[in-house]
Structure formats: C-alpha cells, structure tokens
Structure 1
Amino acid sequence: MKTLFKSVVLGAAALALASAAPAVAQDKTKIGFIYVGPIGDHGWSYRHDVGRLAIEKAFPGKVETTYVESVPEGADAERVIQQLVSKGNNLIFTTSFGFMEPTLKVAQRNPKVFFEHATGFKRAANVATYAARFHEGRTVIGTIAGKMTKSGIVGYVASVPIPEVVSGINAFTIALRKERPDAQVKVIYVNSWYDPGKEAAAAKALIDQGADIITQHTDSPAAIQEAEKRGVYAFGQASDMAKFGGKAHLTSIIDNWDKYYVERTKAVLDGTWKSGDIWGGLDTGMVEIGPYNPVMPKEVVDAAEAVKKGLIEGKIHSFTGPLKDKDGKERIAAGKTATDAEMLSMDWYVEGVSGDLPKK
C-alpha cells in the first residue's frame, strides 16, 4: 500500500510534469484497477473500489471499468497489469506500493497507455504517482487517544515496518503524548496488509498487555471487532468501520480517492493527462476523519476538531521539533518541521513507542 521511500525528495519544485500520448479515441474509455486485497476487506482495497465506482457515476456511458483483486505484490502483478492492457484499458490504476516496478515495466512496453501508481515514487511519461498524508489523520486520532485512555497504554496493530507505517506510528504517538505525556504505544506487526486472523490475535495480545485503546494500520475490521468483545476503544482504518464495533469504535481515518480518480479520468477523456505526483492530506479531502462516537465528551471532540482544522490550515504539522527518537537522539530541531523527504524515509521511533523497530 503502501509506501517504501528511501531518501526521496517529493517537494513541489521537484515534481516535473511530462506530457504523455493523447487519449485513445473509442466509444468508451476503458479503465482498469489492480488491488492487493479483496474489495471486501472494508479497508484499503474497498476504498479504492469506491473510487472506481465514483468514476462510473461521473461518466455514465463514457467509461467502462474493470478490476482484479487480491493480486500479490511481485512477479504476478506484472502479468495481471499486462492483461489489463491487452484487454484494451486506456487508463490503469495500480493501487499498492509493491506494484511499482511491474507498473513501470508494463508502461515502458505500452507508451500509449496511461498508468497511475498509488504510493510510489518512480514516474515516467505515461506513469503518474499519488498518495495521501495518512499521518495527518493519525495526529487527529492520537489527540483523541491521549484524552480517552485511562491506562496510558495504547496498542497499535501494524502491517509492515516501512516508512509509511512508521511515520503513522510516530505521528500518533506525538499527538498522544501531547495530551498524556506518560503514555506508551505498544506495536505488533502482523507482516501483512490483510490477515484478519493475525490482526485479531495482535489486538487481543495488546489488550492483554494493558492497552485500553487499539489503533491499526491494517485493512480488515478484525482489530475493532476484538476491541468490541473486550470492552476497549478502537479506531478504524481506510474506511468508516463503525458498524463493526458500535461501542468500541471512536472514529476512523478514511481514504477518499473519489475526486482524484474522477479528475484523472476526465484528463484522459479530454486529452490533458500529464504525469506527475500528488500527496494529498486533510486539506485536499484525500484524508478524512469519520463521524465521532457519541461516547466521546464534547471537550474531546472539540480538541480533535481543533487539531484537524490546524492541519488543514497549515498551522499544525504532525512533526514539529524538538523531536527525539526513542534513544534520546534529536531528530528534528526546535522550531523545525520534518520535510517531505524525512517523513517519506522515516525509519526510527519517537519517544513513547515501546520496543525496537523490526528490520525488513
């Protein structure tokens, strides 16, 4: 999903836009999607498929969409992407980090087809990249957790130890400890984006270790369901997961790709598509915060909304110094904020995260 950036600079000045070939003329523009998980995961792949449906709704009679779900990141992805090309798709969205190299290989062989790769950093004349600033949402829910926890222990069900995930853990922990300075975040990696059994087991283990709030960077609602069973609070991931834990679920970080997908489809239809990179946050609507559970006191809701507003207006940054890592080394100086490149290559934990960062 998923992002693995190593010392990559993505500032606006570095985003060179390259024109691609004109759109292919035909009765309907065919658009293909490749997903790393099932569309029924209620998380990452589900939300991308919601975006696919938004395209169909926006352009009735003008487009034809198709998708392939549960495609492993690796060699098999190249075969599936090439199949989408062979079936006449003019625009193809490849929606996981591990699809980056396969996307580039297929794109090189098919220069008249447009490709959009989620969370990647390599582009070409016919390959664009896009991602969302998920860490901003974690700053909001970290604020909520800091005000709602009683034990001061929060459990974090994580997928794989890559910068996208690590930066989210850190953003959450920083916000948490602004409200509860002695709070600790315990992390369990399940080494998968979607494995309901492992996600539930991780949540159970974290609750057994004293966590009274569970958050996650995995794709199924299993952690929330476990929290509901055990009587603790939880946050949803990628979509509104309230229906899976009516008492436990406080809110969700929601990925919203709809507007972006519609805009990029329109660009293909009118012949203005260009390669580039987008990294949208709360201000663009790519990241949203779901409805709040009524169990949350007004002061908690007000605090969450104030942080969200500050992030949207640029008055608050998820990573503002001074920030030290868990070993006491200063990583971001006082008065400074992390650059995009620093966030996208983050391989260290902030103070307050228990345990060591696993090596991939």
Structure 2
Amino acid sequence: MNLVNKRSLLKTAALSALALAALAGCSKKEEAPAAAPAPAAAPAADKLKVGFVYVSPIGDGGWTYQHELGRRAIQEKFGDKIESTFVESVPESADAERVLRDMAGQGTKLVFATSFGYQEFVQKVAPDLKDVKFEHATGYKQAENVATYDTKTFEGAYLAGIVAGGMSKTKTVGVVASVPIPEVVRNINSFVLGAQSVDPAIKAKVVWVNEWFSPPKEAEAATSLINGGVDVMYQNTNSPSVLKTAEERGVRAFGKDGDMSAYAPKAHLGSAVIDWGPYYTKVVGDTLAGQWQGGAHWWGVKEGAIDLLKIADDVPQEIKDRVAKEGPRRLAGRQLRCLDRPDQGQHGQGSPGRGPSGRPAVSHQHQLLRCRRRGQGPRHGRQVKVSCHPRAARQ
C-alpha cells in the first residue's frame, strides 16, 4: 500500500469515529429534573355527628315518624357536612341514659332527645359531656349545654276541635290520652275549646292509656269511648290505632303529629301535622357555625311548625273557613295558653303534671281543666269540664 492510500484510510477511519461519537451524543436523552413533591392535602373538616333518640318506632306514623322526617331533612340539607344517626324505641328509663352516653362515646356532638321522659337522663349526663349539645323535646329543664324545644301542639288540637264541633252528631267528643303531663292536658283543653267554639253544648270524654305508643291499648281506649257515645275522637298517642278503630266502628277521628289519612280514609277528618324540619335545620346550621343557643324554643302555627292538614271533603265549607280564619288570627295573634294550672307547666314553674298532693293533674272521674287566653287573669279563665272515662289515669 502506498503512502497516499494509507493516509486516506486513516483519515476515513477518523471521520467515521467522529460521526459515531456525534450520533451517540445526539441520541442520548436529557434526564428531566426531579418533580417537586406535591403539597400535602389539607385535612378534611370533621363532620358534625348528630344523633336522635326516639321513644317509639320510626314507623309509628306519627310522633317519631315526624322526627325522622326532620332528621332526613337535615341530612339532605347539609349533605357531607354532617352525619346523622338514630336509635328508635328507647324506653323512658335507664336505657335512655345508656343510649345518650353511647352516642357521645361515638363522637356525636349534637343530640336530640325526642320525648318528655328523657328529661332527667339528659340532665344527668349533660354535666359529664360538656362538649356535647343536647336538645330535649317537650322538656322544661335547661342547662349550659341543654336546650329545650317543642311544637305548640295545642294549636293543632284547637283547629281539630273546630272541625269536631262541626261534625259531631252526638255532641260528645273524646280523646285517647297518653301520659298525664301538662303538654297532654293542654291538648285536651284546646281540642275541647275548639269544639265548644262551634257548639257550646259539646261535652268531652277522656281515656288515659299511660303510654305514648301502645297500639292495642290505644284501640281498646278508642273502643271504650265509642261505646260511651263518642262519635269524633282526637288522640295524644303515637300510633294510628285510634283512627283505624274509628273506621272499623263507623265514627270519625283525627291523625296526630303525622299525616294519618292513608290509614283510615273514611274516618279521617284531618291530621294535626308537625314539621320538625325547620327547627332542626336552624339548630344544625347554628351548631355548624359555632352559634348554638340554649334556652327554650317553642314554635307553632305562626312559624309553620304545625297545621291541620287534609281536612275531609265532607266537612262543611263554613267549618273549613273557620279553621282557616282561626289559624292565623287566634293562634298566631291571640295565642291560646292552655295549661292544667296557670302557674304550672312544662314551660313554666312547678312540678309538671302534678297537683299539690303529688297526684296527676287530671283525676279519675272528672276535672275542671283551666284554659285561659293570654292577657286574661285567672278569675276570667274559662272552665272546661272534661269528663274522664272510668278507665282513666292510674295513680
């Protein structure tokens, strides 16, 4: 090989080596810098746990069912801001204390105790559970972390009484009553006053069953009233048994607390329906905002908390007009204040439901149940004679 060819080969090899090196450099990927760590997600706000304690099954069709509708309303309103639970059929006994403490132990911070008989148990646990807010329905004892609330059920009873006074043919109406406390006595008074506002000759009979929810006893009490000449019945118990019995016996009756029209459409004259939703919505909203308020809260027709709904088609129009007139005028403006005694009651002072002797405020045979309008002195109180059936309250 001559010198020229040798130099040409060396030159060609050198150029090839440079080209390969260049290609290798071009094909090498640049590594991206490491990504900065993502900021830690902010912890989700704790849900407000809300608990409800019910005295009867949620399927009672009345008192407890309406509270359950209120619970569902707040769950829908506040969504994932709250978690609501309930325990049903809790007796007004030491079981109530156990349930209240158990709810608190599970992190519940707002508890609605929905029956009068839970009062002493709420008062007992509240001092031990200062971080829990308690709302006690129909009670009268408050504390630093205990509020009381109620619906003016006597307003619904008064409106039902107007219808009863216009529909009774025997001029005798009746009430199946639950437990002899002022709340119940108020409702009896109001129902009778409403009936007598239409027909002053109306008389009333009462049978006490001494329980809030006992369908067999309620039916038995209704039967006793019907056998005694009652043709229109009201109730202060939780099931639709009174209304069902009325339909079976061919007389008329009212639903109470919830819309009971479907249980006995022929007997049904109307239902005094409570709507707990607005109050529960306010309390939960206030609690979420850190503005929960204690004290006593009492809502009625004016606040949309109760009304007489689904009045039967065969009720005379003049009676329906009277109900429509009395609702906004007398109940919202000239509020009826019906108690067994002017100085005693759930929302006043004294021992509720008990007279000076310690006996229930309503006697076995009959009692003059005082009912007066606000602004009138005791001497002007209208006396309503309520004849109690022999099966009346046990001592």
TM class by smaller structure:
0.7 to 0.9
TM-score, with normalisation over the residues of structure 2? 0.77
Which consecutive residues of structure 2, in runs of 5 or more, have no partner in the other structure?
1-43, 343-361
Deviation at 1:113, TM superposition (A): 1.1
SS for the counterpart of 2:51 is strand
Give me the whole-angstrom Cα distance separating, in 1, the residues matched to 2:77 and 2:373. 46
Match of 1:245 in 2: 264
**Corresponding residue for residue 220 of structure 2:** 201
Question: Where do residues 64-75 of structure 1 align in structure 2 (5 Å cutoff)?
Answer: 64-75=83-94
Relative to structure 1, is the Cα distance of residues 65 and 235 closer, same or farther in structure 2, using a 3 angstrom cutoff?
same
Per the TM alignment, residue 126 of structure 1 is displaced from its structure 2 partner at its CA by 1.1
Name the counterpart of 1:353. Answer: 386
Partner of 1:336: 376
2:246 to 221, 227, 231: 227
Structure 2 distance, partners of 1:65, 1:318, is 34
In structure 2, the CA distance between the partners of 1:193 and 1:331, relative to structure 1 (3 Å rule), is closer
Mean alpha-carbon deviation: is it higher for 310-319 or for 163-172? 310-319
1:113-152 matches, within 5 Å, as: 113-152=132-171
My pick for the range that moved more, 285-294 or 329-338, is: 329-338
Root-mean-square deviation over aligned CA pairs: 2.5
Deviation at 1:329, TM superposition (A): 9.8
Distance 1:205 1:309 in 2: 35
The 3 A distance-change label for structure 1 pair 337 and 256 is farther
Check the 8 A contact 1:136/1:311 in 2, yes or no.
Answer: no
Equivalent pair of 2:371/2:384 in contact (CA under 8 Å): no
Residues 333 and 293 of structure 1: CA distance in aligned 2, closer, same or farther (over 3 Å)? closer
1:128-176 per-residue CA deviation (whole Å, 9 max, x = no partner) reads: 1101111111111111111111110112111011111111111111221
Q: Give the Cα separation in 2 of the matches to 1:55 and 1:243.
A: 26
- The question of 1:48 aligning with 2:67 is answered yes
Aligned residues: 324
Aligned residue type for 2:388: G
Unmatched runs of 5 consecutive residues or more in structure 1? 1-24, 344-348
Give the partner amino acid of 2:376: K
1:7-32 Cα shifts (integer Å, max 9, x gaps):
xxxxxxxxxxxxxxxxxx94311111
Quote how far apart the aligned CAs of 1:90 are: 1.1
SS of aligned partner of 1:295? coil
Change (3 A) 1:333 1:148: closer
How many angstroms does 1:183 deviate by? 1.4
Contact residue 62 and residue 257 of structure 2 kept, 8 A: yes
Tell me if 1:211 matches 2:230: yes
- Aligned-pair identity in percent equals 42
2:104 to 77, 85, 91: 85
| Pairwise CA distance, 1:315 | 3.5
* Equivalent residues of 2:367, 2:385 under 8 A apart: no
- Aligned-partner residue type, residue 354 of structure 1: S
Distance 1:201 1:333, change over 3 A: closer
Q: For residues 161 and 110 of structure 1, what CA distance do their matches in structure 2 show? A: 31
Contact 1:115 1:127 in 2 (8 A): yes
Q: Is the 8 A contact 2:176 2:209 kept in 1?
A: yes
Is residue 334–residue 374 contact of structure 2 (8 Å, CA) maintained in 1?
Answer: no
Note the C-alpha offset of 1:332. 5.1
> TM-score, with normalisation over the residues of structure 1?
0.84
1:174 aligns with 2:193: yes
Q: Is the 8 A contact 1:183 1:352 kept in 2?
A: no
Aligned to 2:175: 156
